[in-house]
Structure 1
Amino acid sequence: MRAIWKGSIAFGLVNVPVKLYSATENHDVDMHQVHDKDGGRIRYERHCEVCDESVEYSDIDKAYDDGEHRVILTKDDFEALPAEDNDDIDVLQFVPNDQIDPIMLERAYFLEPTSKTPKAYLLLRKTLDSTDKTAIVKITLRTRTRLAILRTRGKLLMIQTLRWADEIREVDFKGVNSRAKISDKELEMSTQLVESYSDDFMPEEFSDDYQEELKKLIDTKIEQGESMDLEEAFPEDEEEEDSGGDVVDLMEALRQSVDNSRSSKKSGAKKSGSKVSDSKKSSKKKAS
């Protein structure tokens, strides 16, 4: 990994030198656009509608237009902003972990201690863990001042940028204010359904099926060329058996869902049980 920012966590008289690294990466397959007629690469030009010339990126400024006023902002204007050169992660306050609404979370970054004696880093990490607190901080990334949280992840300190409060939309959907009566039995069946699907979250057990199929498509085209048979390479799944018509009644839908979940668990248990019994039989044969 390559550090994208270098500075210090600053609160009170305590200073913790750190480097910042992106904590995530995109696993999507990189592709570019081509002309469907001849496969030629599609490229885009920055074109000025006034002088009708192509413009280099270095010659482009930005403009704000609200319909009545238009203001052009140059590179010098942006460089004059006070947030430009701030290389501190300023701690504003410490709050309980459960006060951070997940809807506010954006990008995640790891923090590496850069001091030869990283005691301050270790102390801050241990303090956050022992107090169950998260630090609210401000950081300047790529000339923009961002609100963020500073928290622990295992042995690491990490930053997650936040959306500002006025970026979260306030909505009042009509349906959420409904006075529909929920019976005790419906709540009980719904709880059973939730329990039947409950398990520990293991992120590594999930995969991006679309990207895997896309890679398979690319590999197959490399091997077989344009003569590849799509239907043979990607056969359509057989249609599922009819479950007996649409279920309209909520209570009946809950009951069927719970029953389906239980039967799928039983069939899974039988399969694993048969594997165990088969392995016992084979071990007995080897012993005899």
Structure 2
Amino acid sequence: MRAIWKGAVSFGLVNVPVRLFSATENHDVQFRQVHEKDGGRIKYQRVCSIDGEEVPYSDIAKGYEAADGQMVVLTDEDLKSLPSRSSKEISIEKFVPSEQIDPLLFDKSYYLEPDKTGLKPYVLLRDALEKADRMALVTVSVRTRMTLAVLRVRDGVIVLQTLLWADEVRTPEFESLSEDTHATAKELAMAASLVDSLSGDYEPDEFEDDYSEAVTQLVATKIEGGDITETPEAKGEETEVVDLLAALQRSVDKAKAAKSGGSSGSAAAAGDADDSDDSDDSAEKSTAKKSTTKKAATKKAAAKSTAAKSTAKKSTTKKAATKKAS
């Protein structure tokens, strides 16, 4: 695991240097939106709803929509004026009974690991929390905003769990439950019998995500059966591997040209090494004149090779080759 935050727990005059680690991870199955025809990924453009133009990141600002629908655009200066904290301190405000914290308030969970210099005070805080059967109510700024959290002990490790603010918990308002309706004594007895028959201990490993496993197995079966879509490279996107191979090919061409010592060969190699749009256009024009078959756009590399050979043979094209080399 990698620490996402470093700071210290402060309680009284004691500071406990700690590192923060995410205690949970998401194993949900992640699907990509793709074009059914060729498997290409679907991309979304940032388009303004008023003029319909695509907006670059540099022109995107933060806006707050008022209750009446009006939009208030906030500048960087506005955001800097807002209260923010960048403190590296987990400040213990009070120790509260564990039962007073409704689990509904729990948000994200993190493990706290002590630095070597803070091991003793860390153990002291951990043991004190366990003995008191209380949670430490703290304030912390993991990024910029201050938030409430609690410290509790789990398997010998102090866990920090951020809390939702009180107004972030909705009040249940269901008309069907407002009536004064209760179960009868006979119904309660039958329910109690059912509870007893299904009583047991919670064993996390007893349950598994069968959906995730089924998807993984389905994908593996399709791959083994060859039921996959060969996705062509997206236009305008070159991978690092392609760039590396292209660079190696250019190096080989240059080496061959230098070894042959032919000026025409050197010019042709230099022309191949030029990646500008002008060189591509010249190569396509030369290919159109000398080749008897027209290649598709995806076979442009072959067209370039034909153009290079033609340049070496025909002295009348030396002017074009010199232009490409320059």
Q: CA deviation at 1:175?
A: 2.8
Long gaps (5+) in structure 1: 228-288
Tell me what 2:114 maps to.
113
User: Are 1:54 and 2:54 counterparts?
Assistant: yes
Tell me what 1:30 maps to.
30
Q: Name the SS of the counterpart of 1:116 in structure 2.
A: helix
Q: CA deviation at 1:83?
A: 2.1
Label 1:71 to 1:47 Cα distance change in 2 as closer, same or farther (>3 A).
same
**What is the alpha-carbon distance in structure 2 between the residues aligned to residue 113 and residue 75 of structure 1?**
36
**What is the alpha-carbon distance in structure 1 between the residues aligned to residue 222 and residue 102 of structure 2?**
45
Aligned length: 227
Q: CA deviation at 1:48?
A: 3.1
Tell me what 1:274 maps to.
none
Tell me what 2:191 maps to.
190
**What is the alpha-carbon distance in structure 1 between the residues aligned to residue 94 and residue 15 of structure 2?**
15
Tell me what 2:168 maps to.
167
Long gaps (5+) in structure 2: 229-326
Q: TM-score, normalised by structure 2?
A: 0.65
Question: Which stretch shows the higher mean deviation, 21-30 or 129-138?
Answer: 21-30
**What is the alpha-carbon distance in structure 2 between the residues aligned to residue 183 and residue 48 of structure 1?**
60
Tell me what 1:9 maps to.
9
Kindly report which structure 2 residues correspond to 1:83-162, keeping only aligned pairs within 5 A, or say none: 83-162=84-163
Question: Which stretch shows the higher mean deviation, 17-26 or 32-41?
Answer: 32-41
**What is the alpha-carbon distance in structure 2 between the residues aligned to residue 95 and residue 143 of structure 1?**
26
**What is the alpha-carbon distance in structure 1 between the residues aligned to residue 188 and residue 205 of structure 2?**
32
**What is the alpha-carbon distance in structure 2 between the residues aligned to residue 117 and residue 20 of structure 1?**
14
Label 1:191 to 1:22 Cα distance change in 2 as closer, same or farther (>3 A).
same
**What is the alpha-carbon distance in structure 2 between the residues aligned to residue 28 and residue 50 of structure 1?**
36
**What is the alpha-carbon distance in structure 2 between the residues aligned to residue 109 and residue 6 of structure 1?**
12
Q: CA deviation at 1:69?
A: 4.3
Give percent identity, aligned residues only.
48
**What is the alpha-carbon distance in structure 2 between the residues aligned to residue 209 and residue 149 of structure 1?**
33
Q: CA deviation at 1:136?
A: 1.1
Q: Is the 8 A contact 2:17 2:118 kept in 1?
A: no
CA deviations over 1:106-141 (Å, ceiling 9, x no partner): 111001112424111110000000000101111112
Tell me what 2:75 maps to.
74
Question: Which stretch shows the higher mean deviation, 31-40 or 213-222?
Answer: 31-40
Q: Name the SS of the counterpart of 2:220 in structure 1.
A: helix
Amino acid at match of 2:217: K
Tell me what 1:219 maps to.
220
Label 1:52 to 1:182 Cα distance change in 2 as closer, same or farther (>3 A).
closer
Tell me what 2:40 maps to.
40
CA deviations over 1:48-92 (Å, ceiling 9, x no partner): 345654334354221012135432223443344332412211212
Q: CA deviation at 1:24?
A: 0.4
Structure label with greater radius of gyration: 2
Amino acid at match of 2:34: V
**What is the alpha-carbon distance in structure 2 between the residues aligned to residue 156 and residue 76 of structure 1?**
41
Q: CA deviation at 1:5?
A: 0.9
Amino acid at match of 1:113: P
**What is the alpha-carbon distance in structure 2 between the residues aligned to residue 53 and residue 87 of structure 1?**
42
Tell me what 1:64 maps to.
64
Q: Is the 8 A contact 2:149 2:161 kept in 1?
A: yes
Label 1:52 to 1:181 Cα distance change in 2 as closer, same or farther (>3 A).
closer
**What is the alpha-carbon distance in structure 1 between the residues aligned to residue 119 and residue 182 of structure 2?**
58
CA deviations over 1:232-287 (Å, ceiling 9, x no partner): xxxxxxxxxxxxxxxxxxxxxxxxxxxxxxxxxxxxxxxxxxxxxxxxxxxxxxxx
CA-based RMSD of the aligned residues comes to: 2.0
**What is the alpha-carbon distance in structure 2 between the residues aligned to residue 216 and residue 30 of structure 1?**
14
Label 1:81 to 1:14 Cα distance change in 2 as closer, same or farther (>3 A).
farther
Amino acid at match of 1:211: S
1 or 2, which has the higher helix percentage? Answer: 2
**What is the alpha-carbon distance in structure 2 between the residues aligned to residue 28 and residue 168 of structure 1?**
25
**What is the alpha-carbon distance in structure 1 between the residues aligned to residue 12 and residue 81 of structure 2?**
28
Q: Is the 8 A contact 2:86 2:143 kept in 1?
A: no
